[in-house]
């Protein structure tokens, strides 16, 4: 796929999380050059943070590959509605659910609604993330530290735990991580710590021979993978150009706002 080398001005929003609907120019997420091949035909995918950014791009590409989408978002309803319209434009169903993945009860409700309205759950993408840059460790409040961990780690745990019993063999759970997990970032200490967990979490849960674990790779459960978007343009971005899977079962690579889904 061709590289998009367009340079766009940085943008800043005081409100967090920000809203893509307030950005100009708008992020590029449709990946119109992507050639779908029906790789997810008949599948149902739950994607957290799918109202914008990476989550939106994944949701649209998955829909183009034939999946129905359960779109989770915090409170950015305008962004969520735009994503829903784009998914439905490709002839797929989209269920939108607003709530906080840090809330275990909400995560259980998501699985119940998915099974009740869609009949099954095949793919879970833990993409939602909390990020608050600070110049120094001393500037990070206890409230910020706890909120970042509750969203980025507890949320992944709650939703994965709720989804696992309903996922069949051949299902897939994908955790979006970050290059900060390996390189760190002095302004994103709490965020980097949580993304590091996303890389490690799939290994003990998905490794072959995990005794009596419902998520054994190659057994009767779902595969787990960690995907690291190396290049994300923010402020006119929403495009991820190159991805790789961190020593897990699947592969990902290449593509503007696209994800190779040959493993799913």
Which residues are registered as beta bridge partners of 69? 45, 94
Q: What is the pTM (predicted TM-score) of this model?
A: 0.69
Structural domains of the chain sorted by starting position, each given as residue range(s) with its CATH number in brackets: 41-245 (3.40.50.720)
Could you say which of 29, 34, 73, 191 is catalytic? 191
Average pLDDT, integer, range 218-242? 45
Q: Is 202 exposed, middle or buried (0-12, 13-18, 19+ CB in 10 A)?
A: buried
Residue that has been written with the tokens 């690579």 in this structure: 253
Question: Residue 137's pLDDT is what?
Answer: 85
170 pLDDT band, cuts 50/70/90, is: confident
3-state secondary structure of 117: helix
Q: What is the mean pLDDT of the chain?
A: 72
* C-alpha gyration radius of the chain: 17
Catalytic status, residue 191? yes
Tell me which H or E stretch contains 223. strand 223-229
Average pLDDT, integer, range 111-129? 94
Task: Tell me: cis bond preceding 251? Omega within 30 of 0 counts.
Answer: no
3-state SS of 229-261?
A: ECCEECCCCCEECCEEECCCCCCCCCCCCCCCC
Question: Residue 174's pLDDT is what?
Answer: 87
153 pLDDT band, cuts 50/70/90, is: confident
Distance CA 77, CA 221 (A): 33
């Amino acid at each position: 796929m061709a590289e998009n080398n367009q340079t766009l001005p940085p943008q800043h929003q005081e409100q967090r999380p920000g809203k893509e609907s307030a950005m100009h120019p708008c992020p590029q997420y449709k990946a119109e050059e992507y050639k779908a091949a029906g790789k997810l035909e008949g599948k149902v995918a739950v994607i957290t943070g799918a109202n914008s950014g990476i989550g939106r791009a994944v949701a649209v590409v998955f829909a183009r590959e034939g999946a129905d989408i359960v779109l989770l978002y915090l409170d950015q309803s305008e962004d969520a509605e735009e994503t829903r319209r784009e998914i439905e434009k490709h002839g797929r169903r989209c269920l939108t659910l607003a709530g906080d993945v840090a809330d275990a009860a909400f995560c259980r409700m998501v699985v119940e609604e998915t099974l009740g309205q869609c009949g099954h759950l095949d793919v879970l993408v833990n993409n939602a993330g909390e990020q608050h840059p600070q110049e120094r460790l001393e500037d990070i409040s206890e409230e910020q530290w706890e909120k970042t961990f509750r969203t980025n780690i507890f949320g992944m745990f709650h939703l994965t735990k709720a989804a696992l019993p309903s996922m069949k063999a051949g299902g897939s759970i994908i955790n979006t991580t970050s290059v900060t997990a390996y390189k760190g970032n002095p302004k994103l200490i709490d965020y980097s710590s949580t993304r590091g967990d996303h890389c490690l979490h799939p290994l003990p849960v998905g490794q072959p021979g995990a005794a009596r674990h419902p998520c054994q790779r190659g057994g009767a459960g779902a595969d787990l993978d960690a995907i690291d978007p190396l290049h994300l343009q923010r402020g006119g971005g929403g495009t991820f150009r190159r991805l790789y899977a961190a020593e897990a079962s699947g592969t990902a690579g290449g593509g503007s706002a696209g994800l190779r889904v040959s493993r799913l």
